[in-house]
Structure 1
Amino acid sequence: MAEKTGYLHEKFRLFHVCDKKAWTCPYHYHDFDKITLFLQGHVTYDIEGTSYVLQPFDVVVIPAGQIHRPVIAGDAVYERIIAYLSPSFIDTFARRGFPVLPVFQTPSPILRQHQEAGSVYSTACRLRQAWMVSGTAGDILKEAIFTEFLIYLTQAVNEKKIGYVHQNKKNEKIIQVMDYITAHLTEKLTIPSIARACFLSPDYIMHLFKEETGLSIGQYITTKRLQKARHLIEEGRALTTVCYDCGFTHYSTFYRAWKKQYAIAPKHGNQILDSDFTE
């Protein structure tokens, strides 16, 4: 089953991970945006029902709430730099007149840069080298270079100077189901109604969705509604309003789902911390 993972209570967090093992990561999602700079290995990334084969220096962009997993093949070294980005970190750029949200709104979640003396690529190389500097100086250097990397990446997206990787494979039926759920999240959603809208049988759609995503359709709907609820709570909305605006029919149902997911009451939504996890 897909699980909420990751750990973030700072504005943003950086990791450099290098290991060597064949591993199929479980399906999971984060409540924050994530950028992974893929450096080496044999890796396929599954994102919301679509599969992508990575090449060195690809940039994997995962907006908050998207279900994903890397699939690591063979025994080659898997090296990557991972950035967890909080909403407040993203907002910092917008407040200063340079929004970086376009990076998270691209036609494909896999951005492929030209490996030449371009700003994105050269900054990625320097970011990789920054892990050779230890201590506080190294931490400051990594933050500075990552900020530079994000700026150049945003410019490349805005100026259409970066490539997008098309899917290696995708299950059109799963995409159709996910799109329908997203479009009707605030409405009453049942397996029969979703199956009818997607021209599939209820039994088939339940089996296929669980097999492809690791979640039951009911779990996926609840997950998406809770993610929306969390954002609305962070905006200062009243809890009863949040409950109904996210598609829950009763506050008690919303409360139980939230408590089960986050282990605290909804009124303490800003205090949520996730478990440590890097993939």
Structure 2
Amino acid sequence: MKVFTSCQDAINACSTSHSFALAHLYSDEKPMKMHIHNSYELYFSISGGRQFLIDNRFYTIQPGDLFFINQYESHHLTQIDSQVHERIVFSIYPDYLKELSTPETDLNYCFSCRPENLGHKISLSDEEQKRFRYYVHKLSSIQGYGSDLLEKAVFLELMVYLNHCFSRYAGQNAASKEPEKPEGYHAQVDQILAYIHQNIGQPLAIETLAEHFFLSPSYLCRIFKSTTGTTINKYITAKRITLAKSLLMEGHTVSETAELCGFNDYSNFLKAFTKAVGISPKKYASFT
């Protein structure tokens, strides 16, 4: 199986094959900006990296951390270590995982279940990390006759194992209600993220946000950018696009979706959605 050295190449391969793709990445690839894509993402940290912003939640990244990100969640890697940032990333086509699932075994569970105390991350033990990397090595070694079937079989075994890890980790942390406060945590920015998340369908001009939090617009923009690594407007747009994808999949019309997501201009919605997702809202809705 081909192992990509670019996250974007893996995403493109996944979209083309409608199955899954694997990438092994290092610090020499510039991280993607706040983005959304149509595939699930499994992100395993080997070394380096400091922080992940997924939707409205921050996470500190440590070696052995595994993140589960679905197709409706915007995410952005911030504050990357300048020396080493090695990670393994799977891009997975959602319908492919659904096809592999059974009534007794839902392989989408780790991407669709979001316990408040757990969120998107689990921390694998040394033994779990070894087993995860065993599957990665096995996949990367497959070639020749029957490779398609062998890749599918190993991937299926991997996803059963990861769902088992996710379920067990969620159970172990069920009593924990305190959300993670990563390095560089900024209480005001955390409040701003929560406010945007709760009011994404409403007008969210910078001036309005600044007035709500009793801050100057310039200071608001400065602390948001320094903490998240992206601008408020880019973050809000990404959040609105992720909501739009979900609404379109639920059967809402394009015009209804634009209004519910807080886009006050229909043409701006069409441009923003097409740029972020790669296809128009109408075409995306036709896949439902």
Normalising by structure 2, report the TM-score: 0.74
Q: Indicate how the Cα distance of structure 1 residues 15 and 261 shifts in structure 2: closer, same or farther if over 3 A, else same.
A: closer
Decide whether the 8 Å contact of 2:100 with 2:156 is kept in 1.
Answer: no
Superposed CA deviations along residues 36-58 of structure 1, whole A, max 9, x for unmatched, are: 233x3333343246352322x43
Supply the distance in 2 between the matched residues of 1:219 and 1:270 (Cα, whole angstroms). Answer: 23
- Asked if the contact 1:209/1:217 (under 8 Å) is kept, the reply is yes
Indicate which of 87, 100, 103 corresponds to 1:96.
103
Q: Following TM superposition, by how much is the alpha carbon of 1:183 offset from its aligned partner in structure 2, in angstroms?
A: 0.8
Equivalence for 1:111: 122
State whether structure 2 residue 77 is matched by structure 1 residue 69: yes
Q: Which residue of 2 aligns with 1:52?
A: 60
* Secondary structure, counterpart of 1:99 in structure 2: coil
- 1:184 alignment partner in structure 2: 199
Q: 2:248 aligns with which of 208, 226, 233?
A: 233
> In the aligned structure 2, how far is the partner of 1:167 from the partner of 1:27?
22
| Structure 2 residue 172 is the aligned partner of structure 1 residue 160 | no
1:227-272 Cα shifts (integer Å, max 9, x gaps): 2222322344221211212222342332343345456543223699
Q: Does the Cα contact within 8 Å between 2:51 and 2:182 map onto a contact in 1?
A: no
Q: Is the 8 A contact 2:247 2:257 kept in 1?
A: yes
RMSD of aligned residue pairs (Cα, Å): 3.5
Say if 1:239 and 1:266, in contact at 8 Å, map to a contact too. Answer: yes
Determine which of 26, 30, 40 is the counterpart of 1:33.
40
Show the counterpart of 2:266. Answer: 251
For structure 1, the residue ranges without an aligned partner over 5 or more in a row are 273-279
Alignment partner of 1:42 is 2:53: no
Distance 1:135 1:237, change over 3 A: farther
Seq. identity, %: 20
Partner of 2:230: 215
Greater strand content? 1
Q: 1-side partners of 2:84 and 2:166: how far apart?
A: 33
- Return closer, same or farther for 1:136/1:58 CA change in 2, 3 Å cut-off: farther
What's the secondary structure of 2:284's corresponding residue?
helix
Other-structure match for 2:239: 224
Match of 2:143 among 122, 130, 134: 134
- Paired amino acid for 1:69: L
Q: Who is 1:150 aligned against? A: 159
| Cα distance change of structure 1 residues 82 and 261 upon mapping to structure 2, 3 Å threshold | closer
Whether the aligned pair in 2 keeps the contact of 1:36 and 1:82 (CA below 8 Å) is: yes
**Which residue does 2:219 correspond to in 1?**
204
Greater mean alpha carbon deviation, residues 252-261 or residues 60-69: 252-261
> What amino acid is aligned across from residue 52 of structure 1 in structure 2?
T
Question: How far apart, CA to CA, are the structure 2 residues paired with 1:47 and 1:23?
Answer: 18
